[in-house]
Amino acid sequence: MPTTTLIGTLFEGPIDIVGDVHGEIDALRDLIEHLGYSAAGEHPESRRLIFIGDLTDRGPDSPAVATLVSDLVKRGLAQCILGNHELNLLRQARKEGNGWHFEDDHDHRKGKFITAQRLAAEQRPALHSFLENLPLALERSDLRLVHAAWHNPSIAEIRSSPLTALGLYDVHDRAGIKQAQETGLAERAHTERAAHEANLENLNFPMPLLSNVAALDELYQLSNPVRIVTSGIERVTEKPFFASGKWRMVDRIPWWEDYDDSTPVIMGHYWRWPTPVARDSYSRGEPDMFAQYGSHHWFGAKHNAFCVDFAVGARYKERVSESTRQFECRLASVRWPERELVFDDGRKTPLE
């Protein structure tokens, strides 16, 4: 059984909810300082930090971020939610940007993220122990926090499960694989994927919609509550798009348009762009789910959902852009109960 319930109890008192860090240790230190914390993570007003997940990958020093956050959590100065990037590490799933975690760095083989700090072998057990005990969501009477989607049926199933997050993921993953095999979808998708294998990671190829691959991806996503809360609700897209190094056949759905509960919910995961320049220059190709909102605006059916991920994970692209003089992409935090947005450069604005 997990040592931490998968739907955990959020700290009482004033908190600062930090968006996806993605290995950007300098941005995190800057943000913590602007929020009034000491280098040791202590606050003169007894505030505490909450990390919304996706601590790692793509940035220059994922091990340093994970070490800092795990230390704060152990000392009772912070809480942290499991994001899809942490789940990938627990699953030993090799994804673009997480080569730092593996002895055989798959990113380096492709010439990517060459300067990212590697995880020492002796650090791996402590990192995994920290990650496997993270909750999938946090809640208290006035606030809910989740990495990607507060989906009530998924939350209910997770809440009742005696398994770890990885254990629950695996149960539903096996069930999805069985269903795909029994219906013949897995075989059809395999044949379709094989015909396009050479171009699945080729941005310049005019990739058609692979309908069976798309249906399989949707099945795996929507049949697994751990997938839903860590990476959202996804449906077959009308047109393939290129993101995170490969062609995508399913698209993220704005679940908050159907969120009808009165309790506010704050999430990360969905990159939102602090400026049009950042969006136009560094978008991964995914649709902009927040184009109609200001960066400080609540959204959703009851105007009580907010995303605190301001695309700091794209800074690796900014570093290789010759025209970049300063970062456009930001790390941000929501101060609660003040409902104030704070960026790593010190800018502050009230939420509306």
Query: If pLDDT is split at 50, 70 and 90, which confidence band does 287 have?
Result: confident
Percent of the chain with pLDDT over 70: 97
Cα 222 to Cα 22: distance, rounded to the nearest angstrom: 25
**3-class SS of residue 253:** coil
Phi, psi of 27 (to 5 degrees): -60, -40
Q: What is the pLDDT of residues 221-242, one digit of tens each?
A: 999 999 999 999 999 998 898 8
Average confidence score pLDDT of the chain: 94
pLDDT of residue 321: 74
> 268 pLDDT exceeds 60?
yes
Residue 301 scores a pLDDT above 80? yes
Amino acid identity at 165: A
The torsion region of residue 321 among left (phi > 0), alpha (psi -120 to 50) and beta comes to beta
* pLDDT at residue 68 greater than cutoff 90: yes
Structure confidence at residue 2 (pLDDT): 42
Per-residue model confidence (pLDDT) at position 325:
62
SS3 at position 158: helix
pLDDT computed for residue 274 by the predictor:
86
Q: How buried is residue 205: exposed, middle or buried, by Cβ count under 10 Å (0-12/13-18/19+)?
A: middle
3-state secondary structure 55-87: CCCCCCCHHHHHHHHHHHHHCCCEEECCCHHHH
Q: What are the structural domains of the chain? A: 12-150+259-350 (3.60.21.10), 163-255 (no CATH)
Burial 300-319 (b: 16+ CB within 10 A, else e): beeebbbbbbbbbbbbbbbe
Structure tokens, 211: 């309908």
Which carries the bigger pLDDT value, residue 182 or residue 291? 182
**Terminal-to-terminal C-alpha distance of the chain:** 41
Determine if residue 13 is left, alpha or beta; phi over 0 gives left, psi from -120 to 50 gives alpha, anything else beta.
left
With tokens 């490969």, the residue in question is: 246
State both tokens at 220.
């795996």
pLDDT of residue 222: 96
Q: What is the pLDDT of residues 73-82, one digit of tens each?
A: 999 999 999 9
* Contact present, 126 and 73 (Cβ < 8 Å): no
Distance CA 200, CA 85 (A): 21
